[in-house]
Structure formats: C-alpha cells, structure tokens
Amino acid sequence: MCGRMAITLPHEAVVEMFGAVPANDLPDTPNYNVCPTVNVPVVTSDDGVRRLRPMRWGFIPHWYKKPNGGPLLINARAETIAEKPAFRAACRERRCLLPVTGFYEWYRDGDAKPLPWFIQRQDGEPLVMAGIWQDWEQDGAVISTCAIVTTGANEAMARIHHRIPVILTAEDWPLWLGEAGKGASKIMKSAPEDALLFHRVGTEVNSNRAAGATLLDPIA
C-alpha cells in the first residue's frame, strides 16, 4: 500500500539520474505531503527516449465518464495487475517509474489511533517505485494518470503494513520501462530486508493539508 509520499528531489537531479527529457509543466518540489489526485513527476520511455512528465496520481480507467466516476485507483496489486481490466493493458504497454524521497504508511493496532511512519531507502538514495500509466480522455480533455504497483510486504515492512510498493534498482529500470525486452513480471517483488529505513513521524501528516519539512522529523 502507498497512500502518501514525499518528493523533495529537484527536477534537474531526476533528469540527470534517468537521462530524461523534462516536460515544462512539472509539479513544484519539494512536497513533503503528496496526496492522491495531485500531479507527480513520472518517468516514461517512448521509443527509447526517457521523459519526465507530470501525471495525476490516481489511475482513471477508460470507461470512467469523469475522473471521479469510480473508486480511486492509486495502487495496483502485482499479483492481479495482468488480469484486472483496469490495469492489464497498461501493465503490458505503459509502465513508468515514480522517483520519490520516501512514502508514509500507518500502523494500525486494533482500535488505537493509526500511527504514521516514514519509509525511505537505507542508503539515502531516491526511492524509485514501479508504476503504470495511461491517458484518460473525455470530451477532448486528456489527463495523464498513474498508479503505483504494490506487492506483499517483506518482513521488515510487515511490522507496519502487509503491502509495500515495488521498489526498483537502477538495473531494473530498463526492463520495467520496456527498453530491455520482456520479463518485467519477474521484478515485481518485495524489497530486500535491509533496503529500507523506517522511522515514526508526527500525526500532523494525518491531515492532507499539512506541509513542510518537519513532517519528516523522527519522533520517539
């Protein structure tokens, strides 16, 4: 599961990291509280040319009559992505990468108030999540949309939540983007146990209106 994230990377750094051509209308960064339905910077590959583009986080199936015409699809399960009508074509033809600083997850213990955690890479490098995308069109309006691919949590993540985004290393990027042939299904797996760093953050992030770098500050 991934329902909130932080994106603090300058676009110039992302462009250099992926060798991508940037769009002119990328969303502002840093954003320490990225919520569903907002635009996020996404890396795609078109005929071998990587592009950094803005996309709405919240995949819109082609049969929706309006953007909110059905459930909000921010995640796609790796186990069923190839069969689900909403996702199967995108899984084959339109895969993307979402480079972020990290993501938030909430630990729920019975009826107690959910407690937010921030998850990032252990080595401090950008965390690159697997995604799928498609353009949704209605009455001449086109919205580029995306969803994050998730899988079963590794043991470390399972202490907080049973799902985790599919996190890809640089070696995996060409295969996921379709630049290195077929076989992307084999990299839809959980991150190694030692790959991620977890820390508790304040409940301020429970509000989608919260902002600022202090949202990432660890608490005891």
The pLDDT score that the predictor gives to residue 141 is 87
Q: How far is CA 82 from the centre of its chain?
A: 18
Give the span between the Cα atoms of 218 and 116, in whole angstroms.
Answer: 10
The pLDDT score that the predictor gives to residue 220 is 78
Cα 135–Cα 211–Cα 197 angle in degrees, nearest 5:
85
Q: How far is CA 181 from the centre of its chain?
A: 23
What are 127-166's pLDDT values in tens digits?
Answer: 999 999 999 998 888 999 999 999 999 999 999 999 999 9
Q: Which domains does the chain have, with CATH numbers?
A: 4-101+127-193 (3.90.1680.10)
User: Considering the entire predicted model, what is its pTM?
Assistant: 0.96
Residue 52 corresponds to which tokens in the numbers above?
């950094």
Could you list the mean pLDDT of each consecutive 10-residue stretch along the chain, which spans 220 residues?
90 98 97 98 95 98 94 97 96 97 93 92 96 93 96 95 97 97 93 95 95 95
Residues labelled catalytic: 2, 105
Q: State the residue for tokens 């995108």.
A: 90
